[in-house]
């Protein structure tokens, strides 16, 4: 069997999803989880794009050691230099450099002739090869490129030192038969193609990303690129968890395998969803909440008699377990510590104390504390930026009646140590709270998006709120979780403002 390498770009292409804004701590936690998930290559970011992205890529490269870390660069020396500096301590660093090859991109975006594009591509691969043993070269918009030209430029960049050739369907335009035919053509018409791995990178604008990825593999691709939950620009990318599970389930058809640790699938998906605020649809393949639910009477009868009648994937395969009580009110520090280690967290002593305190507060209000509850507590604490002075909620109160206009009173401690209290009204309870917060915080804020979800099931489930805010011109996301929906809404707003303050103090622009 042939191994298909998995190139994860959740931290780069995935973060480019509209409304997604990950801080450095969140990117680091996701990187650690992707390492546990077993990806072969992790594209940690675009170091030249900002100081914040450079620092995040560097921190990831300094931390994870069992996975290759890649940085993205345009075909520009300064971009390659930024990747070199960010990945200096990586165990197995990779450079990913790209340039457009389609006629429309070369003419209107690059304003270069085909010969000039070849010259630039060759020059930049040679330049990058001075610093990196592994150089992936991507032909942006390959699926709309002239095949003869594509074969010509690929041969030359391989001679220049490229070790991976990536042929992206950048705008999600192509169909599986076309995409597979492109890989077949390159395999047959580039004389030195056996020196490199062929990679595919598919977008889902027409819903073909996963099908196109399989078409590429059927025609010679040995690396598949994508993201967790299929997030990414526009309609997103190929879902890596779907690809890996499909390859496993259909190993009777495909003689390929991956190194993905499949029972880490659900946890990886949940973490990406939580940090990005992009909720996984209930009917999403592999990781959606309905993936293993059977409502039809005929289906239920069949599953009860033999699960294989309608379940081709067992929940356990992807790490889905029943939400039984895991810890309770009388659980001690030792049991709590053991449990969080089982969940894959390694907290320093100070944050461990904070997590245990939050857990105990939750057990006072909630009879059953599940893995999902602990996951929410731990991820919030692990990615907290409390080392920076910030706003903190002291108390709030909402008055609401079916015939009255809602009003809200909030008391906050400010980054300067003051305590400020104010009251305002709104057309609903959340608007009243946010109008009040707008009056208290010194920063200029604007709410762009608000999302409410539940963690777990039942009337005592935690509420989780994600918001997208503009704070003094910076677009940030914030999240908050609590048993009370309104408290979660307040915490999400405050979290977003604090994140903007953290970015400003750290000069992350």
Torsion of Cα atoms, 192 then 210 then 9 then 265, to 10°: -120
Q: Which residue has the tokens 């150089």?
A: 135
Q: Known binder of ligand: residue 201?
A: yes
Long-range CB contacts (< 8 A, 24+ apart) of 277-285? Answer: 277/19, 277/20, 277/451, 277/466, 277/468, 277/477, 277/479, 278/17, 278/19, 278/20, 278/229, 278/231, 279/451, 279/453, 280/229, 284/229, 285/239, 285/242
Q: Which residue has the tokens 């391989």?
A: 158
Please name the residue ranges forming H helices in 310-452: 333-342, 349-365, 371-382, 429-440
Give dist(CA 270, CA 133) in Å, integer. Answer: 34
CB atoms within 10 A of CB 229: 29
Q: Known binder of ligand: residue 105?
A: no
Element (H, E) at 406: strand 404-413
Closest among 47, 54, 55 to 97, alpha carbons compared: 47
Do residues 286 and 242 make contact, with C-beta atoms less than 8 angstroms apart?
yes
Give dist(CA 393, CA 379) in Å, integer. Answer: 20
Q: Which residue has the tokens 């499909």?
A: 246
Q: Known binder of ligand: residue 203?
A: yes
Residue 142 Cα distances to 102, 170, 221, 271, angstroms: 6, 7, 14, 32
- Which positions make up the binding site? 13, 201, 203, 237
- Which positions make up the binding site for Mn(2+)? 13, 201, 203, 237
């Amino acid at each position: 069997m042939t191994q298909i390498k998995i190139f994860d770009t959740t931290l780069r292409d995935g973060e480019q999803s509209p409304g997604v804004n990950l801080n450095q701590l969140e990117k680091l936690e996701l990187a650690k989880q992707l390492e546990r998930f077993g990806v072969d290559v992790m594209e940690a970011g675009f170091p030249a794009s900002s100081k914040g992205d450079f620092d995040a890529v560097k921190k990831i490269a300094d931390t994870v050691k069992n996975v290759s870390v890649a940085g993205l660069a345009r075909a520009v020396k300064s971009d390659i230099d930024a990747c070199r500096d960010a990945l200096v301590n990586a165990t197995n660093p990779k450079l990913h450099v790209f340039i457009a090859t389609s006629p429309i991109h070369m003419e209107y975006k690059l304003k270069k002739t085909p010969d000039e594009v070849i010259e630039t591509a060759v020059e930049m691969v040679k330049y990058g090869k001075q610093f990196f043993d592994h150089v992936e070269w991507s032909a942006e918009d390959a699926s709309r490129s002239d095949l003869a030209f594509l074969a010509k430029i690929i041969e030359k960049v391989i001679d220049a030192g490229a070790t991976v050739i990536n042929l992206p369907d950048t705008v999600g335009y192509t169909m599986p038969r076309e995409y597979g035919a492109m890989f077949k053509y390159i395999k047959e018409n580039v004389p030195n193609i056996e020196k490199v791995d062929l990679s595919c990178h598919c977008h889902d604008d027409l819903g073909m990303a996963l099908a196109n990825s399989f078409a590429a593999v059927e025609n010679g691709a040995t690396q598949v690129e994508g993201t967790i939950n299929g997030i990414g620009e526009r309609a997103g990318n190929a879902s890596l968890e779907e690809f890996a599970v499909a390859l496993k389930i259909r190993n009777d058809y495909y003689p390929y395998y991956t190194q993905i640790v499949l029972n880490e699938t659900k946890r990886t998906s949940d973490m990406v969803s939580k940090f990005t605020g992009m909720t996984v649809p209930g009917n999403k393949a592999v990781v959606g909440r309905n993936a293993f639910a059977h409502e039809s009477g005929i289906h239920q009868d069949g599953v009860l008699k033999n699960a294989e009648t309608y379940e081709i994937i067992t929940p356990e395969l992807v790490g889905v377990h029943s939400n039984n009580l895991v810890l309770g009110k009388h659980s001690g520090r030792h049991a709590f510590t053991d449990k969080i280690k089982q969940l894959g967290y390694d907290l320093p002593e100070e944050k461990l104390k904070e997590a245990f305190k939050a857990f105990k507060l939750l057990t006072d209000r909630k009879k059953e504390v599940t893995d999902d509850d602990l996951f929410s507590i731990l991820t919030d604490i692990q990615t907290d930026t409390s080392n920076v002075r910030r706003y903190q909620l002291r108390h709030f109160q909402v008055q609401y009646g079916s015939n009255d206009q809602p009003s809200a009173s909030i008391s906050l401690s400010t980054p300067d140590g003051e305590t400020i209290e104010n009251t305002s009204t709104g057309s609903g309870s959340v608007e009243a709270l946010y109008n009040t917060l707008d009056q208290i915080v010194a920063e200029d804020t604007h709410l762009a998006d608000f999302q409410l979800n539940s963690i777990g099931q039942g009337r005592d489930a935690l509420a989780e709120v994600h918001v997208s805010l503009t704070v003094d011109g910076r677009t940030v996301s914030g999240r908050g979780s609590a048993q009370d929906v309104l408290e979660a809404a307040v915490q999400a707003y405050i979290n977003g403002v604090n994140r903007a303050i953290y970015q400003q103090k750290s000069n992350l622009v």
